[in-house]
Amino acid sequence: MVGQPLCAGCYDYLGHVLFAWHLPELWRRFTITLRRAIATHLKTSGLSADSVRVSFVKVVELQARAIPHIHALIRLDPPGALATTASGDHISDGPAAPRGGREPRHGTDRQPVWSSPITATELTALIRQAAGRVRIDVPTGDNHPNQGVRTLRFGAQIDAQALTPETTTAATDSETARTTATASSRLSPRRVAAYLAKYVTKSLHDFGITARRLSTEAIGELDVSEHVRAILTVIAELAEHGNAAVAGIGRWLHTLGYRGHITTKSRHYSTTMGALRTARATWTRQHATNDATQLNATTPRGAVSPDQRPHAPLDPDAVAWEFDHAGHTSAGDRVLVISAALRHITARITAITETRSRIGSRWPAPPGGGDG
């Protein structure tokens, strides 16, 4: 069955959860290692370490086996600073990297084509090298049944491929040329962008989990597969017996232990949300001005436009609303609200305690106990 381990008793659920929890830190260390590897490569070639700037965008996909998988676009850009708005938002993407990134971009200002000192093939090798070096040693906790130290790293399925410009084939080309063009366009920037966008739409609803936070007491009642239930059980155990390395993991039951963002990018990869908001506001103002100008131009001479017509007098019986105040009107109201909230919290804690005492053990043991 897709998404289920072949041997539930042999599957390393503890390693699964620890990898998902520490994946954001693994990626952070990877980006640092990659930048250092590129700087070393440039120095070896007799160039300045600041000759290029590494930019990236990544999307995290939760695979059918419920473990996060990273898809990323990594590009080499020129080191020049970008133009910014008054608020500090970047408004220009800068020129493309014709060798390293292979992604043509079109900024608002045409600039001379920049050639990266690192080829796409060399960048691919540096990416594999950096991904193979990154690792994290994580203690599982003295009170955990499987105490010890786990080494987390990226797996052997590291796939780095160079992007090629999107090509079109003329009608007079030979069949061989058509085949070559089709194969090269499979990794075109447009196709890869659509490929990444596909994973943004994936949801935890496929596993039977909502986007709201879960309680550990609800694990046994969820309509999920036994594989997902075992993952949730290990997360709950780490929340109780884990150390500082997994502090707060219990609050991420609803994401199966993954605490990062689905989509992240480096600062200079593309435009910013602030720049997009500014562009939308400018567009709205311009079109409002154009509409008003067009309305004035089409209004007959001597006629009154709708905006200039006198407003009808207000109805004396109409109710006019105005802001009174915010918050409690008196200290007594504040005391009553806080007292009601405390009673609700106390009742919830009492109910949880009674439920735990009735069931004897808080969670069922996961298959295999976490030993791979």
Position 32 pLDDT exceeds 90: yes
Cα–Cα distance, 277 to 91 (Å, whole number): 11
Would you state the pLDDT for residue 323?
81
Per residue in 42-53, pLDDT (tens digit) is: 999 999 988 999
Cα–Cα distance, 204 to 241 (Å, whole number): 26
Cα–Cα distance, 243 to 21 (Å, whole number): 13
The percent of residues in the chain predicted with pLDDT above 70, rounded, is 71
The closest of 160, 128, 137 to 30, measured between CA atoms, is 128
At 364, the amino acid letter reads P
Q: Which of 168-172, 226-230, 323-327 has the lowest mean pLDDT?
A: 168-172
Q: What is the pTM of this model?
A: 0.65
CA dihedral 112, 118, 119, 125 (to 10 degrees): -150
Per residue in 236-288, pLDDT (tens digit) is: 988 888 788 888 898 998 888 999 888 888 888 887 878 889 999 899 888 88
Q: How many CB atoms lie within 10 A of CB 161?
A: 11
Mean pLDDT of 219-242: 88
Which of the two residues, 18 and 318, has the higher pLDDT score? 18
Cα–Cα distance, 261 to 178 (Å, whole number): 40
Would you state the pLDDT for residue 300?
62
Mean pLDDT value across the chain: 77
Position 350 pLDDT exceeds 70: yes
- The residue count of the chain comes to 372
